[in-house]
Amino acid sequence: MPAKRPNLGANGILEQMERDLAAIRRAQRRPIEEEMVRGGLTVPQTAVMQIAFQRDGISLKDLSREASLAHSTVSGIVDRLEAQGLVERRVDPADGRVSRIHATAVVARFVRDKIPELRRGPLGRALEKASPAERKKIAWALGRLRTLLEDVQSGA
Amino acid sequence: MPAKRPNLGANGILEQMERDLAAIRRAQRRPIEEEMVRGGLTVPQTAVMQIAFQRDGISLKDLSREASLAHSTVSGIVDRLEAQGLVERRVDPADGRVSRIHATAVVARFVRDKIPELRRGPLGRALEKASPAERKKIAWALGRLRTLLEDVQSGA
DNA sequence: ATACGATACGTCGTATACGACCTATCGTCG
DNA sequence: CGACGATAGGTCGTATACGACGTATCGTAT
């Protein structure tokens, strides 16, 4: 049963939202981390790999933008994926600055077979328990919150 | 202007939500990280300090539960706070296993003066731009999503 | 052609964040 | 009272995650 949610002041709502976001983050991270032991992949690695597969030859800059991560973070993730032979870095012949990320042949099968089931991970399972109306409301709220945050970020 | 949000299939909604959550995390983390350079504190450190202040003498276990973080994570954060003299560890006289976290005198002023303004950080500023109705909807959605995730977690 | 600002990326230092493991302490059962 | 499972927390190894900085390359202006 859910915890009590009394009427909160503006400050209380803020703190409650922060707590909820933290809890969401943790719950989302944990269950697939268990899978990692079996599959050898973490959540961010899976996400990066899927993007690299869908947009083969994507630059690291675009990849980091897609994943909402700093380029230095993605660089490290690609390092580890490369070490496992799941991804390749190739310098762009037309522009020596950009290194294009390519999914190796092994990945195609992996993405098609494993990812869908991983994708239907904690978030997917959680949403299955919600009604379509709830799903819509939650999806809207996340999109809206993201927009609000990004507007503040860019000084709007 | 916000990105297009076409009608998405069930899978598309999932991926969109994951992207939104990632972007929210990043946006929420970044701006206060800038403050860190000035104040010397990170977001998690601030959160932990506030909990330790509000519930003086809290055990590390309870503290980690409040913060939705693993106890090993909180232990490291407390290490750094302790090194800055903002927090103290004292072994519980009644139970030698638990180490109780106390905010030092310096912190009281800090929490009262600095935290409110930090709290009104990215999330607070973002929410100011939203209507009360939107705020309610977003708050509800986060709470609901959290509950759904935690129910799945506990096998409900 | 050369200088030079802009761009893309790699690297580094530090702070999360986690699970696995170890150790010390507690309660309880015999 | 001594054994022993349970509990709290510290430690370790690894993977994010970031900004700052360095380096190589590109475009452009001179």
SS3 per residue for chain B: CCCCCCCCCHHHHHHHHHHHHHHHHHHHHHHHHHHHHHHCCCHHHHHHHHHHHHCCCEEHHHHHHHCCCCHHHHHHHHHHHHHCCCEEEEECCCCCCCEEEEECHHHHHHHHHHHHHHHCCHHHHHHHCCCHHHHHHHHHHHHHHHHHHHHHHCCC
Domain assignment of residue B28, yes or no: no
More confident residue, B15 or A140: A140
Average pLDDT on B46-55 reads: 92
pLDDT above 70 covers what percent of chain A?
79
Q: Burial of A64 by CB count in 10 Å (0-12 exposed, 13-18 middle, 19+ buried)?
A: buried
For residue A5, which residues of chain B lie inside 8 Å, CB to CB? 143
Domain assignment of residue A80, yes or no: yes
Domain shared by B81 and B110, yes or no: yes
Nearest-CB residue to A152 (from B19, B125, B134): B125
User: pLDDT for B25-36, tens place per residue?
Assistant: 988 887 656 666
Domain shared by A94 and A125, yes or no: no
Domain assignment of residue A153, yes or no: yes
User: pLDDT for A27-75, tens place per residue?
Assistant: 888 765 666 656 778 989 989 999 999 999 999 999 999 999 999 999 9
Domain count for chain A: 2
Q: How far apart are the first and last CA of chain A?
A: 40
Domain shared by B45 and B78, yes or no: yes
CATH of the domain at B58: 1.10.10.10
**Least confident segment among A36-45, A112-121, A134-143:** A112-121
Strand D lies under 7 A from the Cβ of residue B19: no
Average pLDDT on A139-156 reads: 84
Query: Cα–Cα distance between A42 and A36 in angstroms, integer?
Result: 5
More confident residue, B108 or A64: A64
Strand D lies under 7 A from the Cβ of residue B15: no
More confident residue, A30 or A78: A78
Query: Cα–Cα distance between B127 and B27 in angstroms, integer?
Result: 13
* Among A residues 100-139, those touching chain B with beta carbons less than 8 Å apart: 119-120, 122-127, 129-130, 134-135, 137-139
Domain shared by A85 and A75, yes or no: yes
pLDDT above 70 covers what percent of chain B?
79
Query: Cα–Cα distance between A40 and B91 in angstroms, integer?
Result: 39
Domain shared by B115 and B80, yes or no: yes
User: pLDDT for B59-75, tens place per residue?
Assistant: 999 999 999 999 999 99
- Any residues with CB less than 8 A from the CB of A81 and at least 6 apart, and which? A45, A48, A49, A52, A87
Q: What was the pLDDT predicted at B1?
A: 43
- Contact call for A145 and B26, based on CB within 8 A: no
Q: What was the pLDDT predicted at A2?
A: 46
Domain assignment of residue B138, yes or no: yes
Q: pLDDT band at residue B132, thresholds of 50, 70 and 90?
A: very high
Domain shared by A128 and A112, yes or no: no
For residue A22, which residues of chain B lie inside 8 Å, CB to CB? 47, 67-69
Domain assignment of residue B106, yes or no: yes
Domain assignment of residue B17, yes or no: no
pLDDT for residue A7 is more than 60 = no
pLDDT for residue B10 is more than 70 = no
* Among B residues 16-35, those touching chain A with beta carbons less than 8 Å apart: 16-28, 30-31
Question: Within an 8 Å CB–CB cutoff, is residue B68 touching chain A?
Answer: yes
Domain assignment of residue A112, yes or no: yes
Q: What was the pLDDT predicted at B64?
A: 98
Our measurement of CA B102 to C1' D8, in angstroms, reads 17
- Contact call for B21 and A30, based on CB within 8 A: no
Calculate the average pLDDT of chain A: 84
Average pLDDT on B125-142 reads: 92
pLDDT for residue B107 is more than 50 = yes
- Contact call for B146 and A23, based on CB within 8 A: yes
Domain shared by A126 and A149, yes or no: yes
Which residue is closest, via its CA, to the C1' of C11? A72
Query: According to the per-residue pLDDT averaged within each range, which of A12-26, A113-127, B91-105 is highest?
Result: B91-105
Q: pLDDT band at residue A128, thresholds of 50, 70 and 90?
A: confident
Closest nucleotide to residue A48 (Cα to C1')?
Answer: D16
pTM, two decimals, is 0.84
Domain shared by A77 and A148, yes or no: no
Domain assignment of residue A23, yes or no: no
- Contact call for B21 and A16, based on CB within 8 A: no
Domain shared by A102 and A151, yes or no: no
Domain shared by B56 and B112, yes or no: yes
Domain shared by B92 and B146, yes or no: no
Q: What was the pLDDT predicted at A131?
A: 93
Q: Give the range of the structural domain holding residue B130, as residue numbers without chain letter.
A: 121-156
Q: What was the pLDDT predicted at B100?
A: 98
Closest CA to A66 of B16, B147, B80: B16
Our measurement of CA A110 to C1' D7, in angstroms, reads 41
Q: pLDDT band at residue A3, thresholds of 50, 70 and 90?
A: very low
- Contact call for B153 and A5, based on CB within 8 A: no
Domain shared by B69 and B139, yes or no: no
